[in-house]
Amino acid sequence: MNTLARKKQQHGMTLVELMVAITISLTMLAGVVQIFIGNKQTYRVTEELSRVQENGRFTMDFLAREVRMADFWGCANAAVDVTNHLNPPNPPNTPAAHPVNPWANNTIAGANNTGLNGSDTLTLQGAYGEGIGIVSHALASATFDLTTVNHGLDDGDVVIATDCEKADVIEVTTSNPGTDATVIAGLGSNNPGFGNNTFPGAQYNNSGTLYRVKSVTYSILPGASGEPALFRNENGNNVELVEGVQNMQILFGEDTDGDLTANRYLPAGAAGLVMNNVVSIRITLTLITLRDLIRSDNTFGRISRTYTTTASIRNRLIDN
């Protein structure tokens, strides 16, 4: 009897209890899924914005450093006699066929709203690096004996030789990289460069320096991924630098009263702007995420961030 009584007391779950348990379980599971989705979206937004911030910080630091180093020509700025030997020759204030032209009014230049998404372009010219000492110089062959074999110069590089009394802009036609501490600036055309129209007429003997010079243009173009990107064009060689840069705006700070401080900031081509009087450059960049995200207003799309910096052109301040 006891065994029979116990069997009668054992009951299974009713259909109602089962449905209630399933409902509670589904409600809890929905909450867990919502938390997971929310955390995933938060992670995606944080990751993308961190990447935008990192790219923005790198780009602004890089461009500011380039601006500060622009318009440096060694001690050629103090030289009495400055001669350009590039082929074809680029006399002062004449449009240059060669991308490097220290005499033209475009050592600091730009274009307003001509790039992708109405962005600006920025062109900087100058000599870069610490320079390479000249031991001797053969006038007849335009051969320069340098202080080191590891001079880092290549065929087609444009260099400026200067000893502060004179300066000559030439193109290296034979660089002898890693084998000889000599470079030659030959006449005529040269692949990949333009060659030289004339030889330097004054000698450099243990009293001069060679600097590699370049013209660099920054612009916004479609990148390899199809997204807008910042490109760096050095002497005609275009390289993608940072992806996700949607827009770049450039303002040139002009010193109008000679106190080495910018009195006004104007875009390239503005009426009355004298580029030779520009002492600083203001750069504004807009970067975007590379994929659509949920924005703060609950819409779905790209998120953008804008960064601004102002950098002085140190070499113009020092020269003045």
Query: Can you give the residue ranges of every domain in the chain?
Result: 47-319
Supply the pLDDT for residue 56.
Answer: 92
pLDDT tens string, the chain, 320 residues long: the values are 555 555 555 566 677 777 777 888 777 777 777 776 666 676 677 788 888 889 999 999 999 999 998 888 877 665 557 788 887 654 444 444 555 656 555 689 999 999 899 999 999 988 887 889 999 999 888 899 999 888 888 888 888 898 888 888 888 888 887 777 888 888 766 555 667 888 888 888 888 899 988 889 999 999 998 999 999 998 778 999 999 999 999 999 999 998 999 999 999 999 999 998 999 999 999 999 887 776 766 777 788 899 999 999 998 887 55
How many C-beta neighbours within 10 Å does residue 297 have? 6
Q: Is-cis flag, bond preceding 88, omega within 30? A: yes
**Do the beta carbons of residue 145 and residue 132 sit within 8 Å?**
no
Supply the pLDDT for residue 196.
Answer: 84
- Report H helices in 10-136: 15-69
Phi-psi region of 152 (alpha: psi -120 to 50; beta: other; left: phi over 0): left
Strand (E) positions, the chain? 81-84, 108-111, 121-138, 143-146, 158-162, 166-171, 182-184, 208-222, 228-234, 237-243, 245-254, 264-266, 278-288, 293-294, 300-301, 304-312
Record the pTM.
0.77
Beta-sheet pairing, 182-184 with 208-222:
unpaired
Provide the 8-state DSSP code for 209: E
Supply the pLDDT for residue 91.
Answer: 47
